[in-house]
Amino acid sequence: MYGTLIPVVRDNSVDDTHPSEKPPEEPPEGKRRRTTAEPFDNLLHNLKQFGEKNPKISEQVARLVGLYRQLWETYAAKCSEHQSIVDENQRLKQSNKQLRQEKEQTECRNADQEAHQEYIRQYFHEMFKGIADIVESLGEHTSWNPEKGLQSEKLH
């Protein structure tokens, strides 16, 4: 009984603009645009006919139907707004998933670069030790003279 009046509002557009920011779409020529209050149109038509026969009751019923129509339009607007929020939430979840993947990739690259940097640091340390050992061994057999430079001593 109640299920026949509930509208199903879905926004399947890929457009990222919020529905409230979009201009209203024009219906194609010759086609009448459906409104959210259409379920009440037939009832209002019947009330108009009924009002011609009994004006006192029809005025009260028309007011009541008007209030229900307003309530229905508010409900339909909230359904549309809810669907927009659900769609936006889905887009945000997808963005979050993508950003988490990018973060993981960046962290992996960073770890690789840090490991490579440590390898190079150790390589240069070993190379420096080797050069220092060579200079030290040369120092035992050489002397430094500021005017003549490095002089080797003859071994006896």
153 versus 127: the higher-pLDDT residue is: 127
The residue ranking higher by pLDDT, 142 or 83, is 83
How far is the C-alpha of 49 from the C-alpha of 61, rounded, in Å?
12
Is the pLDDT at 139 greater than 50, yes or no?
yes
Look at residue 58 in the predicted model and tell me its pLDDT: 74
At 3 the pLDDT is: 41
Write out pLDDT tens, residues 114-137: 999 999 999 999 999 998 888 888
Q: What rounded mean pLDDT belongs to the chain?
A: 76
What is the reported pLDDT for 42? 78
pTM for the model stands at: 0.45
Using CA atoms, how far apart are residues 34 and 61, in angstroms rounded to an integer?
Answer: 24
- % residues pLDDT > 70 (the chain): 61
Give the per-residue pLDDT at 154.
54
Q: What is the 3-state secondary structure (H, E, C) of the chain?
A: CCCCCCCCCCCCCCCCCCHHHCCCCCCCCCCCCCCCCHHHHHHHHHHHHHHHHCHHHHHHHHHHHHHHHHHHHHHHHHHHHHHHHHHHHHHHHHHHHHHHHHHHHHHHHHHHHHHHHHHHHHHHHHHHHHHHHHHHHHHHHEEEECCCEEEECCCC
**What share of the chain has pLDDT > 90, as a percent?**
36
Kindly state the average pLDDT of the residues 90-114: 97
**What pLDDT sits at residue 86?**
96
Q: Who contacts 6 (Cβ-Cβ below 8 Å, separation ≥6)? A: none
The residue with greater pLDDT, 66 or 155, is: 66
